[in-house]
Amino acid sequence: MSQTNQNETPILEVQNLKKYFNVSAGTLHAVDDVSFKIYKGKTLGVVGESGCGKSTLGRTVLHLLESTSGKIFFEGKDITKVNRHELTQVRRDMQFIFQDPFSSLNPRKTVGEAIADPLMLLKGEKGSQLFEDVIRMMDTVGLARRLYNTYPHELDGGRRQRIGIARAISVNPKFIVCDEPVSALDVSIQAQVLNLMLDLQEANDLTYIFITHDMSVVKYISDDICVMYLGQVVEKCPSDELFANPLHPYTQALLSAIPLLDIDQEVKHEILQGELTSPINPKPGCRFASRCKYATAKCKEPQEFREVSDGHFVACCGVTGQ
Ligand SMILES: Nc1ncnc2c1ncn2[C@@H]1O[C@H](COP(=O)(O)OP(=O)(O)OP(=O)(O)O)[C@@H](O)[C@H]1O
Ligand SMILES: [Mg+2]
């Protein structure tokens, strides 16, 4: 479903967000002038190749990384400007689920202790209330109660990710950045965890940013999708529209890399050629131009991110309006 409901206030609005890192070779533009809106209860998928800035975007939106510039409005308030007290509330409202729960979980803490941590730290719970809530969380994410005293290394990837999900939802957040939450899991387990996340979203009216490099996963879970390339969003539109009518040559290349299930259809993998542009001190033009088969001289100029049809935005001078 499209998110372009103009009457509603977005739960999250990001305006011209930049996150640069100073590295020895210059300034690395990890997130470079990204803007989007997300409405309550929706999922914005963020896709793109490794290193395009997906995780940096997610962390900067949550204020875990300080932005270089730009605004992040959560429920109308710019969270780049909140004081310490307000930040505690933001930490409760906006949570994070990581790709690899194993590395984000303390190996010396049991399942029960790991789920108790955020409840103690962010909600000040203790005693029987804390114990009851931990058990309730375990039930909610489908972790058997007998696992309360087990350690992360004793569990499979799917159960470890259920701990990560329980920790995130335990403090009743409104918004969660999910950074490749199923990428490390077996395909058979992926669907179970994705369905759990969808059920939790529906039950709690949660809003997600869902980061992945897997186009099948993003199609399954997203309402809208942003396609990122070297720090910039090159295309954004409702999920169905992206798969039916991909406009940016980079999106087209990404989609052609999904193996087709229909064996009668010829599988055409478009292999991207040409040199990958560096995210360090990038030139003003299109960053994909060096790999684009349609590139012209106009691609050396800055590309406007414009709406070419209802809710469909693209940053490519070669795309004409519809
Ligand atoms: N702390 C840092 N210092 C310097 N550069 C960084 C830092 N964190 C990320 N980068 C760089 O920023 C760019 C974006 O990295 P990021 O991890 O956000 O990409 P990603 O899209 O999440 O990749 P992946 O799919 O591999 O997780 C990369 O060039 C990366 O090397
Ligand atoms: Mg990442």
- Output the pLDDT for position 235: 98
Please, what is the average pLDDT of the chain?
91
CA of 30 to the centre of ligand 1 (A): 6
Please tell me which residue, 11 or 99, carries the higher pLDDT value. 11
| C-beta of residue 171 within 8 angstroms of C-beta of residue 123 | yes
- Output the pLDDT for position 62: 94
Share of the chain above pLDDT 90, in %: 81
Q: What stretches of 50-145 show up as alpha helix (H) in DSSP?
A: 54-61, 84-93, 101-104, 111-123, 127-140
Query: In this model, does residue 1 exceed pLDDT 70?
Result: no
Cβ count near 31 (within 10 Å): 30
Cα separation, 303 vs 300, in Å, equals: 8
Query: In this model, does residue 5 exceed pLDDT 60?
Result: no
Full-prediction pTM beyond 0.85?
Answer: yes
Would you mind telling me the total number of residues written for the chain in this entry? 322
From 22, 31, 55, 217, mutation site for ligand 1 pocket: most ligand atoms within 8 A of C-beta: 55
- Helix or strand run (H / E) with residue 212: strand 207-212
**What mean pLDDT do residues 174-191 have?**
94
Query: In this model, does residue 321 exceed pLDDT 80?
Result: no
Q: Which residues line ligand 1 (CB under 6 A)?
A: 21, 23, 28, 30, 48, 50-56, 213, 279
- Output the pLDDT for position 265: 46
pLDDT in tens, 30-48: 999 999 999 999 999 999 9
Q: Beta strands 312-314 and 306-309: pairing type?
A: antiparallel
12-245 adopts what CATH topology? Answer: Rossmann fold (3.40.50)
| C-beta of residue 152 within 8 angstroms of C-beta of residue 166 | no
From 20, 54, 217, 281, mutation site for ligand 1 pocket: most ligand atoms within 8 A of C-beta: 54
- Output the pLDDT for position 112: 97
Ligand 1, atom 10, lies closest to the CA of: 30
- Output the pLDDT for position 100: 75
CA of 261 to the centre of ligand 1 (A): 32
Ligand 1, atom 30, lies closest to the CA of: 51
Of 105, 118, 114, the C-alpha closest to 149 is: 114
From 18, 21, 68, 98, mutation site for ligand 1 pocket: most ligand atoms within 8 A of C-beta: 21
| C-beta of residue 221 within 8 angstroms of C-beta of residue 210 | yes
- Output the pLDDT for position 103: 77
- Output the pLDDT for position 271: 59
| C-beta of residue 102 within 8 angstroms of C-beta of residue 160 | yes
pLDDT in tens, 195-252: 999 999 999 999 999 999 899 999 999 999 999 999 999 999 999 999 999 999 999 9
pLDDT in tens, 251-286: 999 998 765 444 444 444 555 777 778 899 999 999
Model confidence band, residue 8 (pLDDT cutoffs 50, 70, 90): confident
- Output the pLDDT for position 6: 57
Model confidence band, residue 98 (pLDDT cutoffs 50, 70, 90): confident
Q: Which ligand is nearest to the CA of 31?
A: 1
34's tokens = 């990204």
Which atom, in ligand 1's list, is nearest to the CA of 52?
A: 21
- Output the pLDDT for position 322: 53
Q: Domain ranges in the chain?
A: 12-245
**Residue with the two structure tokens 């950045």:** 177
pLDDT in tens, 137-170: 999 999 999 999 999 999 999 999 999 999 999 9
CA of 198 to the centre of ligand 2 (A): 21
Share of the chain above pLDDT 70, in %: 92
**What mean pLDDT do residues 171-192 have?**
94
- Output the pLDDT for position 259: 57
- Output the pLDDT for position 295: 94
Which atom, in ligand 1's list, is nearest to the CA of 180?
A: 27
Q: Which ligand is nearest to the CA of 48?
A: 1
CA of 56 to the centre of ligand 2 (A): 7
